[in-house]
Structure 1
Amino acid sequence: MQSNHRFTPKGLTLALALGLCSWLFVGQAQAERIKEVADFAGVRENALVGYGLVVGLDGTGDQTTQTPFTGQSLSNMLSSLGITVPQGTNMQLRNVAAVMITAKMAPFSRPGQSLDIVVSSIGNAKTLRGGTLLMTPLKGADGQIYAMAQGNLMTGGAGAGANGSSVTINQQAGGRIAHGAMIEREIPLVLGDNTGKLQLLLREPDFNTAQKVVFAINSEFNRTVASAADGGMIELEGPQAANARVNFMARINDINVSPSKALPKVVINSRTGVVVLNEGVKLYPAAVAQGNLAITIDTDPLVSQPGAFSGGQTATAKKSKVSVEQQGGGLRTLESSADLKEVVKALNALGASPADLMSILEALKAAGSLRAEIEII
């Protein structure tokens, strides 16, 4: 038996990630509409949450002996329907599951509109496949009920088992119900004040971007309409009438503006080994020594055979040979590179795997040869 610990193919993940990143930043250099870089204050989604029961499961629900809150919830629901369950009754139910329901209520939602909801098991149910969610109130952060949820659940997973063996595909302890909640109350939303003043919030605060947005808005209206409060908020002088204010906001959303380029950044995902660089990353001359450590374990079986008529028994043993090999290690020179393609070419020339590349980039940053912020996620 041989066990050889080595890294993934060299440079493959980096090349793919950088190619995608380069394509993304080509688009960012072009003009974008204000609605793509900023939002009006107050126009946002609101989170809703609720607790309920899913019934109709085919013996895959919660075990009430281990999740007593499921049986308690069912008893309370039956009592509200006029059915009295004798106290102390041990309901051995396997077709009921306790769940949490989450939803997002879009701005300007009105009573009578529907919401998509996500249903997630909180007990030990094996699967929610084929279940039906009973009527459940959904509450906001203020504790008020804003929607009622109910419907047949759809899960994206599947599973099968027989004779102690089982197989599952995707997640079965949760699912979605399209248009599964009906809005019962709207969330008050006030746009601006009585004088018509509005606030525009940049999604990525930046002084240069704020300056460009102010200039673009004032140029569109040929008068001073916008003024920057800081690098993240722009104040607008809008009309007081509701219809005129809506037209004013729609016109602002369609104004084109060129946001500032993102700061040089290297993003490293330590769990997956993905490394992404944006177009602002620069390299200055440096020398790098890098090598891989390979450990090989060879195991051979040994058989000891006793002599004839000796009465002994055949014995087996294992003999292992462990070797350590240090690969590479020579110094390589990295030339100065200001273009993203040249940076990728220089890093790939090292022949390093993504795992080694993380350490190299951090060392280059510490040495002052990499001009970029490193973010580890």
Structure 2
Amino acid sequence: MFRTFLALPALLIAALCVAAPATADRIKDLGGFQGIRSNQLTGYGVVVGLPGTGDDNLEYTVQSMKAVASRFGLQLPPNANQGLKNAAVVMITAELPAFAKPGQRIDITVSSMGKAKSLRGGSLIMAPLLGADGQIYAMAQGNLAVGGLGAEGKDGSQIVVNTPSTGRIPEGATVERAVATGFADAPNLTFNLQRADFTTAQNVAAAINQKLGFGVAQAVDAVSVAVRAPMGADVRATLMSTIENLDVVSAEPPAKVIVNARSGTVVINSAVRVGPAAVTHGKLTVRIDENQRISQPAPFSQGQTAMERKSGVAVDEEQRPMFLLAPGPKLADIVKAVNAIGASPADLVAILEALKEAGALKAELIVL
């Protein structure tokens, strides 16, 4: 389970674990201004032109096709549901970027809702894309690009590669309405950190005040920094560009140990410390071997051939020395001590869990 971690040499692990000096980050890499974000769009549509891989006789597929035909004053015959294998109903999803203007194009993802086996070769009929407020923000239409494929034999055998029931249309939707961000007329600009940290928020406010003047920025909480700014889109755009490119020193993250039990990955950040503790870790292996032997009697005797079972039981206990962790060692010291006794990643996890229970591990232990 924990083979991935074993691939790293002990020397490399120790080198990576040494705490690096604090470096400055750009403010734009720590978060973003409130209101300037993308918005999710969804829609419902029909894909036509499929080579017999559509929804076939689903009732809502028929209803959707009748609705499409009615736009052009056509009426499908009552038995139309017998020949709709070349059509499929789909859900359409897209991300509307911040400041997207009418006329710009965005990518869309099209996914089958029914029994369609593949959307390869299909074309999406014009469909509206709605936002969370129910308003239409884009119109989608175009030919699908499907990365998966599927094939089926008459005996029922089939093969499927990737997901042929989902496709994309690059620049398949045209923006019809812009989303108001409100940054030009809001009372203040608010910068939100990606990770909540009071120290980092204070450092961001201090960096802005040092550049623009005392009292311009104020840390509201562990996430938000309020910035006083004059009204007007052009002035605020220039101010926001200046703020985003300022350098600031981020606070040291909280001490954490992350363990992924599925992949065997163990990550320990440089803030982890341990209290004084003595650790020993042994390994007990019980091996049982089953052997079979055939007993063959001498020729012309009265004996019969028989099978004899022979079992072997062995117990192997690996002796490992105890090592001492002095008060407050750093991560590199922990890794060196664990590597000194030849502990595997599985053993490392067991040691960390035991240290946590004993109150000697000064970190949050997270098991994914």
User: Match for residue 12 of structure 1?
Assistant: 6
User: Match for residue 180 of structure 1?
Assistant: 172
Residues 102-146 of structure 1 show CA distances to partners (whole Å, capped at 9, x for unaligned) of 111111111001111122222232222222222121111101110
Equivalent pair of 2:219/2:226 in contact (CA under 8 Å)? yes
Aligned partner (choices 50, 60, 65) of residue 53 of structure 2 = 60
The secondary structure found in structure 1 opposite 2:82 is: coil
User: Match for residue 122 of structure 1?
Assistant: 113
Q: Residue 54 of structure 1: CA displacement?
A: 1.9
User: Match for residue 130 of structure 2?
Assistant: 139
- List aligned pairs for 1:1-377, cutoff 5 A: 7=1, 9=3, 11-12=5-6, 22=16, 26=20, 29-64=22-57, 67-87=58-78, 89-160=80-151, 165-191=157-183, 193=185, 197-284=188-275, 285-291=277-283, 328=318, 332-333=322-323, 335-336=325-326, 338-349=329-340, 351-355=342-346, 357-377=348-368
Q: Residue 355 of structure 1: CA displacement?
A: 4.7
Once residues 123 and 14 of structure 2 are traced to their aligned partners in structure 1, the CA distance between those partners, rounded to angstroms, is 42
Equivalent pair of 2:320/2:341 in contact (CA under 8 Å)? no
For 1:259, the aligned partner's letter is S
Question: CA 1:236 to 1:59, structure 2 compared with 1: closer, same or farther past 3 Å?
Answer: same
Question: CA 1:327 to 1:70, structure 2 compared with 1: closer, same or farther past 3 Å?
Answer: farther
Question: CA 1:362 to 1:63, structure 2 compared with 1: closer, same or farther past 3 Å?
Answer: farther
Equivalent pair of 2:95/2:106 in contact (CA under 8 Å)? yes
Equivalent pair of 1:286/1:369 in contact (CA under 8 Å)? no
Larger Rg: 2
Q: Residue 234 of structure 1: CA displacement?
A: 1.2
What TM-score, normalized to structure 2? Answer: 0.81
The secondary structure found in structure 2 opposite 1:47 is: strand
For 2:355, the aligned partner's letter is L
The secondary structure found in structure 1 opposite 2:281 is: strand
For 2:174, the aligned partner's letter is M
For 1:82, the aligned partner's letter is G
Between the two proteins, the alignment pairs up a number of residues equal to 351
When structure 1 is superposed on structure 2, of 69-78 and 223-232 the one drifting more is 69-78
For 1:131, the aligned partner's letter is G
Once residues 179 and 24 of structure 1 are traced to their aligned partners in structure 2, the CA distance between those partners, rounded to angstroms, is 46
Once residues 79 and 119 of structure 2 are traced to their aligned partners in structure 1, the CA distance between those partners, rounded to angstroms, is 27
Equivalent pair of 2:5/2:264 in contact (CA under 8 Å)? no
Once residues 63 and 321 of structure 1 are traced to their aligned partners in structure 2, the CA distance between those partners, rounded to angstroms, is 63
Equivalent pair of 2:105/2:175 in contact (CA under 8 Å)? yes
For 2:171, the aligned partner's letter is H
Once residues 119 and 231 of structure 2 are traced to their aligned partners in structure 1, the CA distance between those partners, rounded to angstroms, is 51
Where in structure 1 are there 5+ consecutive unaligned residues?
A: 1-6, 303-316
Q: Residue 300 of structure 1: CA displacement?
A: 7.8
Q: Residue 298 of structure 1: CA displacement?
A: 6.6
Q: Residue 152 of structure 1: CA displacement?
A: 1.5
For 1:333, the aligned partner's letter is F
Residues 278-311 of structure 1 show CA distances to partners (whole Å, capped at 9, x for unaligned) of 2212244331435376787879899xxxxxxxxx
Q: Residue 332 of structure 1: CA displacement?
A: 4.0
Equivalent pair of 2:41/2:130 in contact (CA under 8 Å)? yes
Once residues 274 and 79 of structure 1 are traced to their aligned partners in structure 2, the CA distance between those partners, rounded to angstroms, is 57
The secondary structure found in structure 1 opposite 2:77 is: coil
For 1:251, the aligned partner's letter is T
For 1:54, the aligned partner's letter is V
Once residues 119 and 145 of structure 1 are traced to their aligned partners in structure 2, the CA distance between those partners, rounded to angstroms, is 17
Residues 159-178 of structure 1 show CA distances to partners (whole Å, capped at 9, x for unaligned) of 45556554443332212211
Equivalent pair of 1:282/1:370 in contact (CA under 8 Å)? yes
CA RMSD of aligned residues (A): 3.5
